[in-house]
Amino acid sequence: MWSEETPPIERVYAVVFALPYPIDASYIADQADLSLKTTRAQLEQLCELNVVEVTSYPSTQLYSFADSYLSIRALHRLCTQRTLDELSQMATTLADQIETWQQQYDISSPQAVLGDTGDHPESSTPPPLILGEWLFLTHYQTLIQKAQILLT
C-alpha cells in the first residue's frame, strides 16, 4: 500500500487523519506499515506540533487528530481560497440557516437542547442530525468571522 519513498511521518499522519475515533499506536503502526517504535516516534513528533492529541489510560494511549489543528487548517483554507465577498456570502448563508432553525425549533442554539434546561417543548426539539449540523455551522461561522478579520 505504501511506497518505500513515503516518509514515516507522512504515513502516520495519513493514518491518523483517516481515523473516525481515537486508536492505539499498534493499530496505527499496522496501517502505516511501520514498526511500533518508529510509529511512536512519529506520533510524539505530531503531538509536539499539536497535530495529534493523545489520551492516556492506565493500560494504553489513544491517538486522534487534534480538533484545534483541524480548525486551523479550515481557517487557513478560508483565508487562502476565498475572497472577502465570498466569505460574506458564506456568513449570510450560514446565518440564514441558523435563524431558520431558531424559528423552526423555538430555541436560540443547540446548546439550549444539549444543556436541556427543559424550557422548550419536547416536540420542538431538533433531531440529532440537525443538532450536529447546527453545532458545526456555528463553529464554521466563527471561523469565517476570524478569516474576515485576518483578511481585512
pLDDT in tens, the chain (152 residues): 799 899 999 999 999 999 889 999 999 999 999 999 999 999 999 999 999 999 999 999 999 989 888 889 899 999 999 999 999 999 999 999 999 999 999 988 888 877 655 555 555 788 888 988 999 999 999 999 999 999 98
Q: Which of 69, 30, 58, 25 is nearest to 44 (CA)?
A: 25
Question: What is residue 140's three-state secondary structure?
Answer: helix
Task: Specify the pTM.
Answer: 0.66
CA–CA dist 26, 30 (Å, integer): 6
